[in-house]
């Protein structure tokens, strides 16, 4: 994480905290990020403008690390937790990211699938799926995620949330059947084909 934050500073990426050092107890000192932290949201509660800004921010983050040694031969360095909880909002729009503890080299689709799931799709969304798929198309279009990859995006989302479940299990936070993540995986699996059809219809 320290290498990543230093790299982002070196390339002039201004939408992440700066690593200022450590204190006498070895704790990280990071620069302050102006904005509001949102915790009062549900997946699906975002406007087209907010989805557009989130896609632009994620694309800038990926582009800042693509084709660099820090990406380790992968497409980019993924944030791996690019959720609405980990961005700062100004005037209602996401402007910067924080909490890079899980960052690691990987495919861009890894972050896109995770972020799209948390923002737009899930078992507790009351809004019509067609509306959410329109916002998903906006998210992928603004990012520039091409048609070849989006054809199986529903399956990518299922795999990404399964990976999240497995990560929690390995860390000892066992996600038993009936838990939130299991419900999300079941919902996404049920709707994966509809998600793919909705994306194909826009190509």
Q: What is the pTM of this model?
A: 0.91
Would you say residue 7 lies in a domain? no
State the CB neighbour count (10 A cutoff) for residue 19. Answer: 19
- Split at pLDDT 50, 70, 90, the class of 42 is confident
Q: Which residues pair with 106 in a beta bridge?
A: 76
Interatomic CA distance for residues 103 and 74, integer angstroms: 13
Specify if 178 maps to a domain: yes
Given a cut of 90, whether residue 45 has pLDDT beyond it is no
Per-residue pLDDT, 89: 97
Query: Does residue 95 belong to any structural domain of this protein?
Result: yes
**Mean pLDDT along residues 66-82:** 96
Residue ranges of the alpha helices (H) in 22-128? 48-65, 108-120
**What confidence tens digit (pLDDT) does each residue in 9-37 have?**
999 999 999 999 999 998 999 999 999 99
> Does residue 188 form part of some domain?
yes
In the DSSP assignment, the letter for residue 123 is T
CATH of the domain at 82: 1.10.510.10
Tell me the mean pLDDT in the region 88-108: 96
Residue 4 lies in a domain: no
Pick the range with the lowest mean pLDDT from 65-79, 84-98, 121-135. 121-135
Q: What tokens appear for 168 in the block? A: 């929690």
Partners of 19 in the β-ladder:
30
Position 17 in a domain: no
| Full residue range of the structural domain in which residue 189 is found | 46-200
pLDDT digits (tens, 9 = 90+) for 135-172: 999 999 999 987 666 778 999 999 999 998 888 888 77
Structural domain count of the chain = 1
Measured between alpha carbons, how far is 102 from 1 in angstroms, rounded to an integer? 8
Could you give the angle at the alpha carbon of 133 between the alpha carbons of 130 and 137, nearest 5°? 140
Q: How far is CA 197 from the centre of its chain?
A: 22
pLDDT category of residue 174 using cuts at 50, 70 and 90: low
In a domain, 183, yes or no: yes
Q: Which helix (H) or strand (E) holds 20?
A: strand 19-22
């Amino acid at each position: 994480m320290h290498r990543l934050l230093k790299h982002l500073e070196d390339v002039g990426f201004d939408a992440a905290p700066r690593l200022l050092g450590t204190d006498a107890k070895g704790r990280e000192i990071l620069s302050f990020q102006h904005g509001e932290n949102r915790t009062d949201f549900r997946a699906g509660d975002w406007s087209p403008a907010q989805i557009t800004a989130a896609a632009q921010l994620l694309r800038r983050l990926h582009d800042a690390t693509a084709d660099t040694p820090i990406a380790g031969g992968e497409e980019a360095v993924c944030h791996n937790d690019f959720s609405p909880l980990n961005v700062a909002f100004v005037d209602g729009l996401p402007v910067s990211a924080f909490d890079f503890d899980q960052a690691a080299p990987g495919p861009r689709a890894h972050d896109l699938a995770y972020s799209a799931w948390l923002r737009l799709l899930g078992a507790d969304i009351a809004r019509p799926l067609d509306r959410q798929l329109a916002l998903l198309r906006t998210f992928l279009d603004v990012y520039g995620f091409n048609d070849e990859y989006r054809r199986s995006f529903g399956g990518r989302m299922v795999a990404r949330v399964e990976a999240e479940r497995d990560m929690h299990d390995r860390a000892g936070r066992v996600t038993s059947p009936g838990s939130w993540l299991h419900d999300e995986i079941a919902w996404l699996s049920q709707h994966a084909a509809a998600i793919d059809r909705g994306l194909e219809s826009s190509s």
